[in-house]
A and B are shown apart, each in its own frame.
Chain A
Amino acid sequence: MESKDYLKDISEIKNLMNKSSRFISLSGLSGIMAGVYALIGAAIAYYLVMNFSYGTLILDGQIFRWVLVDLILVATLSIITGIILTTKKAKKHGSKIWDATSKRLVFNFLIPLVVGGLYILIILNQQKYGQAGALMLIFYGLALINASKYSIGDIRYLGFAEIILGLTAALLPGYGFWLWVLGFGILHIIYGTWMHFKYDVN
């Protein structure tokens, strides 16, 4: 056999290892959209708190409930957009959306996220809400890093960035809102754009 054939073997081995263990159809565009939703959601929350709540948020107040609805809406819209755009991309590549690799990805992404979510709910219930924004960023970052082993590796860098922002937010509680906007809004848009041009175009 020529060494050219061996080279072909090696590249096929790499390709099969990737295809069988990683879900690579994640759409960059859905990252951009998640960022845009987060920015719109943050603007609405900011408007609500500044105009109806005298700049402070009371945990069992009416405005707090609206901010929660706003937050859930942003998360739901991001997830739906992500599923639609990723399905589209997977179809184009001729790969399945719900197979062993994507199940593994979702499962491993959800472990830190659900743990973090429950933890935040628990401390909110104990009236310790100063750290909620920081914790959201930190646990989201951990979820991304955990998921990166089962998808495009670049996701881990977004995860690291979110954790750094989260720790900064913990140090500077007064800037929590703006670091949250930076982490969930701006970073998603930057990351999504980068992924879009790296993997989706061409």
Chain B
Amino acid sequence: MSIINNINKVFDHRIRLGIMSILMVNEYADFNMLKELLEVTDGNLASHAKALETAEYIKVEKQFIGRKPNTRYSTTKLGELEFKKHIDALEKLINKH
């Protein structure tokens, strides 16, 4: 199997990679925290988060804090595994050059 096989198409975008990096080291992050750290617009973040959710790499929980709706994101076991594979593949690719 070539190294390229482990480069994951789902992660092949700066914002998705960013969402995963933050969620890997935090138990969870809410929408605003991701937005501030990644410096993206609402729509942009929502659509990339949706893509990761569809792939079942992240979990989304909607809840209320007081009266304000709050969306919380966390990684799934599958997401963590795939992200690690992706990073390893990137590393190998860089080292080859």
Contacts and interface: CB of A to CB of B under 8 A. Distances in A.
Given A3-B94, A6-B90, A7-B94, A12 B22 contact: no
A12 B25 CA distance: 14
A20 B33 contact: yes
A81 interface: no
Interface residues of B, number: 19
A9 to B, nearest CB: 6
Given A13-B21, A100-B33, A20 B26 contact: yes
Nearest to A100: B33
Contacts of A100: 26, 29, 33
A10 interface: yes
A193 interface: no
* Chain A interface mostly: helix
* Chain B interface mostly: helix
Which of A3, A10, A20, A21 is most buried by chain B, counting CB atoms within 10 A of its CB?
A: A20
A6 B8 CA distance: 13
Contacts, number: 47
A6 B94 CA distance: 7
Contacts of B96: 3
Nearest to B22: A20
Nearest to B89: A6
Which of B18, B21, B29 is most buried by chain A, counting CB atoms within 10 A of its CB?
A: B21
Given A9-B14, A9-B17, A21-B26, A16 B94 contact: no
Given A9-B14, A9-B90, 18 more contacts: A3-B93, A3-B96, A6-B90, A6-B94, A7-B94, A12-B21, A13-B17, A13-B18, A13-B21, A14-B21, A17-B22, A20-B21, A20-B25, A20-B37, A21-B25, A99-B33, A100-B26, A100-B33
Interface of B: 14, 17-18, 21-22, 24-26, 29, 33, 37-38, 87, 90-91, 93-94, 96-97
